[in-house]
Structure 1
């Protein structure tokens, strides 16, 4: 039921996830931050089984940091996305696959902003916008129509609010809180919570 969302702008990536933790018919909290920072300029939001999500995202983050310590430089967003895909694929063929869907976003000086869609089967796609979860049934058309890769930060906030309003109106599961961040050349921004009335 989780919703993960990211899209590129003129010189940034907006990456967001709903902040509700739930299992079956129970809701545990509305301030869960699903974001994990991978490098200074990239991060991932994940959805799926909570144990798998936390363990796999932390595993990737720690190994990306280990790579930096061993080699003296950070991986690009493209390299991080492909490393993550390789690990998902390897675990899928083992006895303990991780049931985690992810959206990876980042900014590189050479390549600019980028967003990657990665599912639990290891399918990786670079896109201008990516949505994971049931929300994709409602938001794909909206983002296809209103997303502009050259949008400003204010336009990105407005588009995120439009997405949340659409979910409130059409999706039966309440997702009133989202936590989002901007990622740009200066790194990963502070988390911001948005609430739809």
Structure 2
């Protein structure tokens, strides 16, 4: 578990993800504006961990999801992309593991989906999830305010509450949060 904060939740017809912008090595902050939320096809992948592992792993996943779409002519569903990603993490675990924790978000025929995945290749579909030390502060708030028919405005308000809680209580100053929403109409970035 790193000194990061990445969290997300499902809404009525969308999924929202937020992540801090810190890229660090040991106790040194390298960047304040890292984007840890990747657009992969029609999905969002939040990926936290060491910068080299996350970038390498996410580029691999991104290219293979695109390759599958080119071969089949059909975009991968969120469940299929999460299963593929989990399988790749499990294979890597035996030879050269990636220290990558992920949140996989998408909206398809099955509705909004959010998958929680850790570096040990465990995966589960959830309504709300968080990674890093930030999870200790955000999961309680998301539990309290989440509901199945959440609107975008309500979800953004919950994300703002989570960020405010981190700024108030977390000993580490995490800079520049990025927030993105995926829905059937596409992907958009939200200014917080």
Preserved CA contact (<8 Å) 2:33 2:175: no
Correspondences of 1:134-149 after superposition (within 5 Å): 134-149=133-148
Secondary structure in 2 matching 1:59: helix
Q: Residue 192 of structure 1 corresponds to which residue in structure 2?
A: 190
1:72 aligned to 2:73? yes
Q: Residue 3 of structure 1 corresponds to which residue in structure 2?
A: 5
Deviations 1:16-59 (A, max 9, x none): 1111222233222221111211222x120111111010000110
Give the counterpart of 2:33 among 31, 35, 51.
31
Q: Distance in 1 between matches of 2:175 and 2:163?
A: 8
Secondary structure in 1 matching 2:177: strand
1:177 aligned to 2:180? no
Coordinate RMSD, CA, aligned: 1.1
Correspondences of 1:47-58 after superposition (within 5 Å): 47-58=48-59
Preserved CA contact (<8 Å) 2:6 2:130: yes
Preserved CA contact (<8 Å) 1:177 1:193: no
Which runs of 5 or more structure 2 residues have no equivalent in the other structure?
none
Preserved CA contact (<8 Å) 2:90 2:120: yes
TM (normalized to structure 2)? 0.95
Residues 16, 182 of structure 1: alpha-carbon distance in 2 compared, 3 angstrom cutoff? same
Q: Distance in 2 between matches of 1:182 and 1:136?
A: 19
Tell me which stretches of 4 or more aligned residues in structure 1 moved more than 6 Å: none
Q: Distance in 2 between matches of 1:28 and 1:121?
A: 26
Deviations 1:85-121 (A, max 9, x none): 0000000011x1111101110000x211110000000
Which runs of 5 or more structure 1 residues have no equivalent in the other structure?
none
The count of corresponding residues between Structure 1 and Structure 2 is 190
Q: Distance in 1 between matches of 2:22 and 2:53?
A: 17
Preserved CA contact (<8 Å) 1:92 1:121: yes
Preserved CA contact (<8 Å) 1:46 1:53: yes
Q: Distance in 2 between matches of 1:144 and 1:103?
A: 17
Preserved CA contact (<8 Å) 2:44 2:106: yes
